[in-house]
Amino acid sequence: MGEPQGKPQAPRDATRQVMVGRPGHGGVAIGGGAPVAVQSMLNAPATDVEANLRQIDALAEAGCEIVRMAIPERAALRSFARVCSRSPLPVVADVHFDAHIAIEAAWSGAAKLRINPGNIGGLAKTDQVIDAARGAGIPIRIGVNAGSLDAAIAERQDLTLPQKLVESAAQYVRYFTEERGFHDIVVSAKAHDVPATIATYRLLSQRLPKVPLHIGVTEAGTVFQGTIKSAAGLGVLLEQGIGDTMRISLTDDPVLEVRAAWQLLAALDMRRRTPEMISCPTCGRCQVDMIPIAKRVEDALAGIDKPIKVAVMGCVVNGPGEAADADVGVACGAGQAALFRNGKIVTKVEEERIVEALLEEVGKL
């Protein structure tokens, strides 16, 4: 037998592509082999138009591609419409319990609707939302969560939690596509438990191979815990080719969600937009004050939009050799450092000039 030709097709390559927003006007493709899209959610008051727009601008600068905005009451619909009209990013309307809000949001500039048919008022109300989305030419994300499963499914003892989530999602997808002929859908089925999240999305990918998946670990926690849980769960799925769009959910500034998402995609060598810093753990061989040097470099790199690799190494053992793939870097010694580019030493600098010299070299790239 001959050698296999090419890279095996990832599950995300086989999903049906949907468009969030207008093509050529900031629209983002989800599914069908498109790059995994990075999302976040606004947390400013829904009636404060300017606060939401400021947050959108900050998220866009960080690399966010799609934003979601909760509309908790009908009184917020006017603000939502104004946000949509001025936003540089596609805005998804996040609606629970009130189908009227979802319908009005579809006609108020929403680029996509996110609903849970189980709490929007049943299939009769869901039909009205589908009709509105179809008329507005926008997709719907069907979102099911562990905490809001249909009672008939939640009470079944023969199913695990992942199986319950998948069964719930599959029933809705079947209704949307077979009964209503509406195919512009994305599905999410979230839990706060990492193993349950992985198992759920693996099953979803098998059960609904044509449907784009929005992946995330919900209620993941604050920055430290939430980033670790999300990286553990989403990293496994993304590496297996599962997931067309993603959000890392953190109890903090949404900008941090976006930065964490890009770091995860870069770590998997899937997408890059900002520098990657390679830095070694400190040990007894280190002869400079390594930790503050690394932090200063990291802070400086946060404002640079170049997909480059920058190394900050503590000694000659973890020097140019182990970081030879870095575009630029430093290997520290006794009160000084060797500055190197593409694994080759360029010059040596004193300790107090390490950060300055390294950033000067970065600026030349």
Cβ 119 vs Cβ 147: under 8 Å: no
Same domain? For 34 and 140 the reply is yes
Instruction: State the pTM of this model.
Output: 0.89
- Residue 288, pLDDT score: 77
- Residue 342, pLDDT score: 86
Same domain? For 76 and 143 the reply is yes
Number of domains in the chain: 2
Q: Please tell me the distance from the alpha carbon of residue 314 to that of residue 333, in angstroms, as a whole number.
A: 7
Q: Please tell me the distance from the alpha carbon of residue 333 to that of residue 337, in angstroms, as a whole number.
A: 5
Burial class for 305, CB neighbours closer than 10 Å (0-12, 13-18, 19+): exposed
Cβ 176 vs Cβ 182: under 8 Å: yes
Stated length of the chain: 365
Q: Read off the CATH number of the domain in which 255 is found.
A: 3.20.20.20
Q: What angle do CA 76, 213, 87 make, to 5 degrees?
A: 35
Asked if residue 1 is part of any domain, the answer here is no
Would strands 214-215 and 185-190 be described as parallel, antiparallel, or unpaired?
Answer: unpaired
Beta-carbon count within 10 A of 108 CB: 21
Each residue's pLDDT expressed in tens, for the chain with a length of 365 residues: 344 455 667 899 999 999 999 766 679 999 999 999 999 999 999 999 999 999 999 999 999 999 999 999 999 999 999 999 999 999 999 999 999 999 999 999 999 999 999 888 889 999 999 999 999 999 999 999 877 777 788 889 999 999 999 999 999 999 999 999 999 999 999 888 999 999 999 999 999 999 999 999 988 889 999 999 999 999 999 999 999 999 999 999 999 999 999 999 999 999 988 888 888 877 777 777 888 888 988 888 887 888 889 988 877 666 667 667 889 988 888 878 888 888 888 888 888 888 898 999 888 88
In the listed set 203, 235, 267, which residue is the last one of a domain according to the structure?
267
Range of the domain at 33: 11-267
Asked if residue 5 is part of any domain, the answer here is no
Same domain? For 244 and 355 the reply is no
Same domain? For 291 and 262 the reply is no
Q: Please tell me the distance from the alpha carbon of residue 135 to that of residue 209, in angstroms, as a whole number.
A: 26
Same domain? For 32 and 82 the reply is yes
In the listed set 208, 233, 267, which residue is the last one of a domain according to the structure?
267
